[in-house]
Structure 1
């Protein structure tokens, strides 16, 4: 089934469970330290951007390289990192893609220590079908601790 026909054939809410499963498995790969496996869940030219680095990183090879480095830093610091996802919404992108929005809480636990909140974020993904699953073509992470200029 083509990218266009997979998403057009079913309403966005029918993709919710498969997108939820995909995102959970993707974060488990990262938490397990499988940077290459995590990077393989992006399209070949997939982009990972953040409000702290809006230019982003592009391409599986670059994502795998940078995340391998990052996983190494976390391990050298003796931390176990976990991502917790919630508040997922899934909508059609209108171009055969699916757009997913969700919150991510990142918790670090030092060996023998107490868990501590590392980050609180909201995420926006553009996903493309890949057989019975998905690939990320674009991800943007909004860090909650970044001043959004909204005032009080």
Structure 2
């Protein structure tokens, strides 16, 4: 289970880091809720997630930066219904056009993962809360 969860987050963060809003949103359920402690309102549903990533991607590009999310330290608990409660830490690095990197944010992410449908039954996020340190 640990390897599957770690692989899920690696793929999900790759979509985010590459600005693939649709690919990232597809890793959530259609009705997912994503709370971020730096925002007044959560992102709701895949369309809200796509809009949030597009806005963030534009701001990152305007700043002349590349962002990379390093997610790990997974604590995984399986619920009786088969869903997973996952707590992880993420360090977000920002690299400028001249190659200088710095820590942009450190976050704690608390997710509920469920099985999608279909032959491969992928994991999907149904609920996410991201607490950015210092907020």
Say yes or no: TM over 0.5.
yes
- C-alpha spacing 1:118/1:76, structure 2 compared with 1 (3 Å): same
Please give the root-mean-square deviation of Cα atoms over the aligned residues, in Å. Answer: 1.4
From 144, 147, 151, the equivalent of 2:133 is 144
- Provide the aligned length of Structure 1 versus Structure 2: 132
Q: How does 1:109-124 map to 2 (within 5 A)?
A: 109-124=95-110
With 31-40 and 93-102 compared, the bigger mean Cα shift is at 93-102
Q: How does 1:33-112 map to 2 (within 5 A)?
A: 33-53=19-39, 55-112=41-98
Q: Distance in 1 between matches of 2:106 and 2:17?
A: 16
TM-score, normalized by length of structure 2? 0.91
Residues 34-63 of structure 1: per-residue CA shift (max 9 Å, x gap): 011101110000111022336411100111
Q: Which one has the largest radius of gyration?
A: 1
Residues 95-146 of structure 1: per-residue CA shift (max 9 Å, x gap): 3311111100001011114101110011100000123420000010111112
Q: Distance in 1 between matches of 2:40 and 2:76?
A: 23
TM-score, normalized by length of structure 1? 0.81
Q: How does 1:117-136 map to 2 (within 5 A)?
A: 117-130=103-116, 131-136=120-125
- Runs of 5+ unmatched residues, structure 1: 1-14, 147-152
Q: Distance in 2 between matches of 1:123 and 1:111?
A: 28
